[in-house]
Amino acid sequence: MHDNSIVCAFLYIITKYGYPPPAEKSLEYLQEMKNLGFQSVELEGIREIHLSEMVEIKDEIKHKADELGLEIPYYCTVLPGLASDDPKERERNLELFTRGCDTAVALGAKGVLDNAPLPPYQFPKDIPVVRHYDEDVLLTASFPKDLNWNRYWQEMVATFRDACDIAADRGLTYQMHPCLGVLSATTDAFLYFHDAVGRDNLRFNLDTANQFVMKDNIFLSLRRLKDHIDYIHLSDNRGNRVEHLAPGKGMIHWPLFFETLDAINYKGHIGLDIGGDESGVQDIDSAYQQAAQWLKKYWL
């Protein structure tokens, strides 16, 4: 393992500058993450407007990253519309996904990442522009009265099969990030979805905090999904609600976590994913720096 296996996840930038943070300041974000001591960083293209803005400046971003000696192993393409029950909306988001994959290639990424498929919820206004859907948000959602689940499932799975193929054509993995309310939030749900899609480059971006709060055993998940995991989001959690704390601030049993990584011979990346409004991290810079040092000690 090398230091570039430790990634500064984009949640660092989101915590400081909001969601989505202004795309035009991406070069400054790279500098900030470099100043923390990271050699690998995560970037995101969030929905149509932000993702399109990132497309326009992708070459500038790559030039700055090279200048700073930074790698960008994973690029997030956040497109909840891929799982819409509207075929035209899914097709429009596939086009955006293609642009996101092209951006990932330009940045030298090995994979793209998004939240797992969002069911066809109907919210009072529109899909809220939030990082994840907590219980309060999900309680406001209903479903279309004329929803034919079997037809929807088949069409949605076909869309994600197309997305996997788009990514594979560019040499990319497609990482599914678990969170409350999505269709492959747990180990069992991902394996079911993976079998339905039938594409080897569909991967599970294990998120320690989200798995812990959903009572999905992290250590068993690692063993069951070892052939499907090459990127982990790491943060701590106290088990009561969604939060992304610095390691040691929650209840996750980290010695067993690292023991399990060794047992499955894990050789992928780990992204430090600390912060967000829900977490109350007071000094986000120190939290990332200290977590990186902690991870070097116990993993590298």
Task: Inform me whether the pLDDT recorded for 287 exceeds 80.
Answer: yes
Distance CA 248, CA 121 (A): 35
Sorting pLDDT into bands at 50, 70 and 90, what band is 131? low
Crossing angle of helices 149-169 and 87-106, rounded to 10°? 20
pLDDT above 90: residue 251? yes
pLDDT, mean over the chain: 95
Structure tokens at 159: 């869309």
Cα 93 to the center of its chain, rounded Å:
17
C-alpha distances (whole Å) from 126 to each of 96, 169, 181, 192, 250 are 19, 32, 16, 28, 33
Q: In which residue are the tokens 């309680």 written?
A: 139
**Cα 153 from chain centroid?**
22
192: left (phi > 0), else alpha (psi -120 to 50), else beta? Answer: alpha
Q: What's the pLDDT tens digit per position in 196-209?
A: 999 999 999 999 99
Question: Can you read off the two tokens belonging to residue 153?
Answer: 């499932």
User: Binning pLDDT at 50, 70 and 90, where does residue 2 land?
Assistant: low
Q: Which of 189, 159, 180, 79 is nearest to 127 (CA)?
A: 79
pLDDT at 238 over 80: yes
* pLDDT reported for residue 239: 93
The residues facing 212 across adjacent strands are: none
Longest dimension (CA), the chain: 54
Is the pLDDT score of 52 beyond 90?
Answer: yes
Q: Which strand (E) or helix (H) includes residue 27?
A: helix 26-35
- Look at residues 23, 96, 8, 95 and name the one whose alpha carbon lies nearest to residue 61: 23
What's the order of all strands across the beta sheet hosting 269-272? 202-204, 173-177, 111-115, 71-78, 40-46, 6-8, 269-272, 231-234, 206-207
Name which of 26, 37, 90 is nearest 272 in CA terms: 37
| Average pLDDT rounded to a whole number, residues 50-74 | 98
User: What is the mean pLDDT of the segment spanning 177-206?
Assistant: 96
Q: Under CATH, which number does the domain 3-298 receive?
A: 3.20.20.150
Q: Where are the alpha helices (DSSP H) in 57-134?
A: 58-68, 87-106
